[in-house]
Amino acid sequence: MRTGAALLCVMTLCSGGAFASECANPNAIGTSRTIVVDPRDHARIGTMSYVETLPLAENEVVLTFDDGPRPPYSTRILDLLAAECVKATFFVIGRNAREYPAVVKRIVDEGHTLGTHTQNHPYRGLRDIPASEGLDEINQGIASTLWALGDARADKLAPFFRYAGFGNTTESEAYLADKGIMVWGADFPADDWMRIGASEIVRRAVFRLHLKGRGVLLLHDIHPATALGLPALFAALKAGGYKIVHVVPAGPGLVATPTEPHDWRMVTGPHTPASWPQTPRSLKAMTFAENYAAIGGFTPQAELPLKLITPPRWMPRGADPKEKLEARARPAWPAIEKANLKDSSFLARPDPKSFGLEAKFEALTGMPVRATEPVAPPKLRKAIAVRAHHAKAKRAHTAAR
């Protein structure tokens, strides 16, 4: 009964405060507009998984954050969004919502859209678990988020859902469509769950946005590099002429934004469907060269090797766990310090060609993508050479026998 009530609440919500007031920061990128979508008209969006995407105009982007809440990173990201007058969509994990209800309340109180992301975030979504357990993951995630919101804010939970790891199943998609819950994929990621620095997150996000022209950006509010790179991302989007769009669900008093069927299809030109990441070379070549130059100078401190200081337990022993977020023991964000840089040249760096789109950048602009190849320090090179020699000798000895 509780699950049924939770789903009914999600199906009959209103956006409640989703439309932002005027921005007090004259230099902020801000939210250009708000669109209202009806989940029953378009049940699944995001070209990484589905045919349709949101009805965005050229150079428009929707920011989404997964896997939270997890302070202090989620709260820092909320601070940055507020400073730039930007509204985003958060897909929270049910167990995290129960652990940090104050952050969940803050998300909706500040006008952001709140969706769900399963209860426990199975590793490969719902594909590796029985269908009944998959539906339980969906329902429990909704119930936990409603519990975190409380009765006073229950109507602010949007009927939006994103699969953990994009691990969708036919059974769960039919179930969600029947309940009037919209499944969100994404149009491009920033790979911020990988071990990459903040400036690399910004570079990949803006680069892929340029190739698609518009779409839904996948980020995570549980990683320090994401929070560190967000100011640079806003600056890059603003320099490139991109606009941030907020999405809310239709409901009592809110009618869906009028659209045409072709508005929900990804195009890179007049009626030219693009099977991402393939893009005609002639499109936006010069503008992207200018946009890339605009973000080329961003080098946030996360680009250097960082050593994260593990924060202490949020509360002293015996304290009320509901008061975690008010604990004074929490260090000021970001609590980071530079690691020993003596052997930093051998630290693993991301391969710029790993995503496969950087070659297109070279073709578009003629500018080579700078790759940082790891170089081992002398002592380590000698040790590697010795081990290789021993292995070669062992193979020769084995072959002689």
Give the pLDDT confidence score for residue 128 in this predicted structure. 86
**Domain tally, the chain:** 1
| Residue, of 123 and 221, whose pLDDT is higher | 221
Give the pLDDT confidence score for residue 359 in this predicted structure. 54
The β-bridge partners of 37 are 249
Mean pLDDT for 16-20 is 40
From 220, 221, 223, 246, the catalytic residue: 220
66 in active site: yes
Residue 53 has pLDDT above 90, yes or no: yes
From 38, 66, 187, 192, the catalytic residue: 66
Average pLDDT, the chain: 76
Place of tokens 């989703």: 18
pLDDT band at 375 (very low <50, low <70, confident <90, very high): low
Question: Which of 248, 290, 261, 265 minimizes the C-alpha distance to 212?
Answer: 265
DSSP assigned state of 17 = S
DSSP assigned state of 256 = P
The answer to whether residue 331 is domain-embedded is no
The answer to whether residue 360 is domain-embedded is no
210 in active site: no
Query: How far is 296 from 363, CA to CA, in rounded Å?
Result: 18
Write out the residue range of the structural domain in which residue 51 sits. 2-257+282-295
Query: How far is 20 from 358, CA to CA, in rounded Å?
Result: 37
Give the pLDDT confidence score for residue 238 in this predicted structure. 95
CATH number, domain with residue 129: 3.20.20.370
The answer to whether residue 394 is domain-embedded is no
Give the pLDDT confidence score for residue 301 in this predicted structure. 35
Q: Give tens-digit pLDDT for 379-397.
A: 677 777 788 888 888 777 7
The answer to whether residue 177 is domain-embedded is yes
Give the pLDDT confidence score for residue 361 in this predicted structure. 53
Give the whole-number percent of the chain exceeding pLDDT 70.
Answer: 66
Give the pLDDT confidence score for residue 365 in this predicted structure. 57
Residue 95: Cβ within 10 Å count = 14
Give the whole-number percent of the chain exceeding pLDDT 90.
Answer: 56
Residue 65 phi, psi (nearest 5): -130, 130
pTM, rounded to two decimals:
0.66
Mean pLDDT for 105-114 is 97
The answer to whether residue 215 is domain-embedded is yes
Query: How far is 371 from 153, CA to CA, in rounded Å?
Result: 48
Give the pLDDT confidence score for residue 50 in this predicted structure. 93
Query: How far is 32 from 224, CA to CA, in rounded Å?
Result: 27
Residue 378 has pLDDT above 90, yes or no: no
Q: CA–CA distance from 316 to each of 16, 99, 309 (Å)?
A: 37, 16, 18
The answer to whether residue 319 is domain-embedded is no
Mean pLDDT for 213-238 is 95
The answer to whether residue 306 is domain-embedded is no
